[in-house]
């Protein structure tokens, strides 16, 4: 009579252990996936920063080529210049550079101050997407 009352107890324990182990396994897989996605987005954020910095460097190079004490600002200083997609590991990003010139006179010289903003955004993605990355850099430079 005692045997029939204890027949299903080990089955309940085994099912409980299987459910607990499966839940722990699912938690580990979810945590690993989240960490890998976070790391990938961190790398993409660094690449976007470098792409935006490339836009600023492009503008700085062109400003350095403009003549000193020029009566007109650098001709490429426009409200929006799209540099397009960059090469190599930055090929996923499109860079837009905007420039606003301001002049000042110091003695007989005209000094131009350029307010430059470079924005690198992922091509093929839109703001709000899970994997969308965008970085912007603002600088002021004068010549």
Convert the pLDDT of each residue in 37-71 to its tens digit. Answer: 889 889 999 999 999 999 999 999 999 888 877 88
Tell me which residue of 128, 102, 96, 104 sits closest to 115, measured CA to CA: 102
Total-model pTM: 0.76
Residues 63, 73: contact at Cβ < 8 Å? no
Q: In 4-128, where do the E strands start and end?
A: 81-85, 93-106, 109-122
Supply 136's token pair. Answer: 């912007």
- At 143, the pLDDT band (50, 70, 90 cuts) reads confident
pLDDT for 137 equals 97
Q: Provide the mean pLDDT of the chain.
A: 88
Contacts of 26 (CB under 8 A, 6+ apart): none
Tell me the pLDDT band of 5, cut-offs 50, 70 and 90: low
pLDDT(75) > 60: yes
């Amino acid at each position: 009579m005692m045997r029939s009352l204890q027949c299903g107890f080990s089955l309940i324990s085994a099912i409980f252990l299987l459910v607990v182990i499966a839940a722990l396994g699912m938690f580990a897989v979810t945590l690993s996936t989240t960490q890998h996605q976070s790391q990938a987005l961190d790398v993409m954020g660094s690449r976007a920063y470098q792409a935006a910095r490339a836009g600023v460097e492009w503008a700085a190079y062109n400003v350095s080529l403009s003549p000193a004490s020029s009566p007109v600002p650098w001709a490429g200083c426009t409200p929006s210049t799209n540099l397009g997609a960059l090469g190599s590991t930055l090929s996923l990003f499109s860079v837009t550079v905007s420039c606003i010139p301001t002049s000042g006179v110091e003695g007989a010289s005209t000094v131009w101050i350029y307010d430059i903003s470079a924005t690198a955004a992922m091509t093929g993605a839109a703001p709000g997407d899970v994997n969308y990355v965008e970085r912007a850099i603002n600088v002021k430079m004068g010549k």
